[in-house]
Chains A and B, each alone.
Chain A
Amino acid sequence: MNVWLDAALISVIILGLFIVASTRLATMIQIFSVQSVILGCVPLLMYAKDLEFFIIIISLAAVVLRGFIMPNFLFWAIRHVSVRSEASPFIGLGTTLLLSGVSIVGSFLLASRLVFPVAISSDLVVPSSFSLIIMGFILIVGRTKAISQVIGYLLLENGIFLFAILLLKKMPLLVEMGILLDLFIATVVMGIVVNNISEEFNNMDTVELSTLKD
């Protein structure tokens, strides 16, 4: 039983709930940054007994990319627009929190059914990763501001990264790094498009993106 690992995973879920429950964009980005830093340390905690060099590198890369560079980039994006908070989400805050709670319960149920083929250091990894993924989805679907949707996507990617940590020793370094890099580029491209949206539409509300339909 790895106490520190479990503590980190639980705090990651709770921070996820904080992100889902807040409407100020700056707060969301800050909490996302903290969550990513904790997440970046999870590989170190999980493989604490037989630490290898490339695991430290991946941890560092995750902390720097997800915890610092991407949040800064998002801050740069919201500095260019007047919008500071999510005024009118599709799904209200109460409902969002309720859905997130249900999703956490569902993740634990699902994870208890799926037997992981090899022994893993903590039972919490799989359910926390599933709950982060579903919370990301809730954020993408329930919010109208483009930046909130980007944060939702990043939350979803954090969940997937958490799952990938389980496989860190089995998968080549190349692929892991590639995915980290890809995520970084994806954020940059999204940020640029968000800026395009805000220039053209005077704010970054995706509700206005509705001229193309049948």
Chain B
Amino acid sequence: MLIFLILLPLLVAGTIFILPDQRSRKRMLVFTALLHSGCVFSFWMFKPSTSWNGFLGLDALGLLVLSVISVLFLMVSFYLMGYFKDESELSRKVFIGFLLCFLSFMTLVTVSRHFGLLLIGIEATTLSSVPLINFVKTRQSIEATWKFLMICLIGIALALLGTYFLAVAGLNNVQSLFIDKLIIHGKELTLPWLKMSVIFLLIGCGTKMGLAPMHTWLPDAHSQAPSPISALLSGCLLNCAFLSILRVAQVCHAAGQTPFFSSMLILLGIISMGVAFVFILGQEDYKRMFAYSSVEHMGILAIGLGLGPIGIYGALLHMINNAFTKGIAFLVTGNLYKQYHSKKVSEVRGVFFAYPITGIFLLAGFLAVSGVPPFGTFLSELIILYAALIGHHYVVVFFYCLFLALIFIGIADIILKMLQGRPVHESVSQGPKESWSMVMPILFLIVVVFILGFYIPPILNNVLQQGVGLLAG
């Protein structure tokens, strides 16, 4: 079943690359996404068995990330139905093909039970997202692609070295890189090599996840990629990297090294929030602003993960909320870019006046991104704050609240200016109205994040608790 889930998008991608024609590509994309999410939905009822000699398996953490990826991908594929209008046939073929490869490799990351396979999956996601980021082929997008490729490949190389160190740490007893075996023999790992490996893995996967100070590729790639791709990068790819850090946390927990790992996570988290605040303030490009907001939220995830069981619960919940929120934010920027033909904040004025629906979505996206109640992000950020408070981490509490407040002000300043007033150029309001396919996915995501703000379904709560049990049980 798991192999099917990985191979399905690859097969469809192969078909798209080979077949000469035609208009059915978008439908094939949506159909694959539907089938994928249907399978993932069934995993919530029936747990799939491990397969392929134990290399593939699905636990609570993998299930959470996989579900987020699947839902967001489905929404983005619906959105793409309306987004593509005037691109050439060839580039569309390449685009949709690599998009499906991207889905397949992200699925591989979530279901791999072996550190080597996990890294191969992460590297494959990097490589398959290169043609997606470099879709428009302007000077800026080539620059963004180069930075993305170079920095992420070096990050993965370091993570690979960390994985080898992990293998060395277990050379006397474990002699394998299967996550389950490492956890069982956690106490017997050689300490100096384990610590080296944890540092390298955290730096390497942190690069991919966009933790400051290794985040420098992120704002460029997010701002230059087409908006639906930015949504996928921010909501899915960063979560894949976060999942690999969760795997490291599992091993650390089993080895009794959680305090060592937590301190590094909290430090990186606070730095990320601080960096995000500095660059959000007075940002001139609204996509870059949301990209820096991703850096901030990855920092929040890292802090939550470092704060013990309650913090981990908050971080897992925040991972879901953040992915869907970023989906909203970046898909709305896609609408805005279609309407205003500019990524500059100064050229986007009077969204409420010219495009009321996009305006309301942008407002909702802004509120959700900055964690305003009743959106789900508020709840999960509150849980993480609570975890910091009862753990007596007052320095963390101080910086966490300070940066959250300042970032809220920074984003509000930018978004509210864009919403109010009248458009700068008269021609803007005669632009295309939003088609249904560019409205419904955003609406769906807003409803989901809204509901998660005051109601967590028991089945989700159950899986979240299982996830916490894996990381701090």
Contact = CB atoms under 8 A, between A and B. Distances in A.
Interface in A166-214: 166-167, 170-172, 174-175, 178-179, 182, 185-186, 189-190, 193, 196-197, 200-201, 206, 209-212, 214
B123 interface: yes
Interface in B133-155: 134, 137, 139-140, 142-147, 149-150, 153-154
Contacts of A146: 146
A175 B117 contact: yes
Given A114-B196, A167-B167, A212-B224, A189 B149 contact: yes
B143 A209 contact: yes
B161 A212 contact: no
Interface in B96-113: none
B120 A170 contact: no
Nearest to A181: B120
B146 A206 contact: yes
B7 interface: no
Nearest to B174: A170
Nearest to A199: B142
B376 interface: no
Nearest to B148: A193
A164 interface: yes
Contacts of A171: 116, 167, 177
Contacts of A182: 120, 123-124, 127
B150 A149 contact: yes
A200 to B, nearest CB: 5
B67 interface: no
A13 interface: no
A160 B176 CA distance: 18
B193 interface: yes
A160 B157 contact: yes
- Residue among B114, B153, B175, B176 having the largest count of chain A Cβ atoms under 10 Å: B153
A186 B150 CA distance: 10
B283 A193 contact: no
Interface string A93-116: 000000000000000000000111
B192 A114 contact: yes
Contacts of A149: 150
B168 interface: yes
B240 interface: no
A211 B139 contact: yes
A140 B147 CA distance: 12
Interface string A62-100: 000000000000000000000000000000000000000
Interface string B352-382: 0000000000000000000000000000000
A214 B157 contact: no
A153 B150 contact: yes
Nearest to A164: B164
A179 B116 contact: yes
B6 to A, nearest CB: 14
A214 B219 contact: yes
Contact of B116 (A157, A178, A212): A178
B223 interface: yes
Contacts of A209: 142-143, 146-147
A150 to B, nearest CB: 9
B130 A189 contact: yes
Interface residues of B, number: 46
A156 interface: yes
Interface string B185-208: 000001011001000000000000
- Residue among A175, A196, A211 having the largest count of chain B Cβ atoms under 10 Å: A175
Interface in A105-134: 114-118, 133
B296 interface: no
A179 B154 CA distance: 14
A151 to B, nearest CB: 12
A157 B157 CA distance: 7
A140 B154 contact: yes
Contacts of B160: 160, 179
A170 B171 contact: yes
Nearest to A149: B150
Contacts of A157: 157
B142 A193 contact: yes
B341 to A, nearest CB: 19
B172 interface: yes
B247 interface: no
A193 B147 contact: no
B130 A193 contact: yes
A153 B164 contact: no
A160 B114 CA distance: 19
Contacts of A179: 116, 119-120, 160
A9 B368 CA distance: 56
B93 interface: no
A178 B146 CA distance: 23
Q: Top 3 closest A-B pairs, CB basis?
A: A175-B116, A209-B143, A212-B220
15 contacts: A114-B193, A117-B190, A140-B150, A140-B154, A149-B150, A153-B154, A153-B157, A170-B175, A170-B176, A172-B116, A175-B120, A178-B116, A189-B149, A193-B130, A209-B142
Given A175-B114, A196-B134, A212-B223, 8 more contacts: A116-B168, A156-B157, A175-B116, A179-B116, A189-B149, A206-B146, A211-B143, A214-B279
Interface of B: 114, 116-117, 119-120, 123-124, 127, 130, 134, 137, 139-140, 142-147, 149-150, 153-154, 157, 160-161, 164, 167-169, 171-172, 175-177, 190, 192-193, 196, 219-220, 223-224, 279, 283, 288
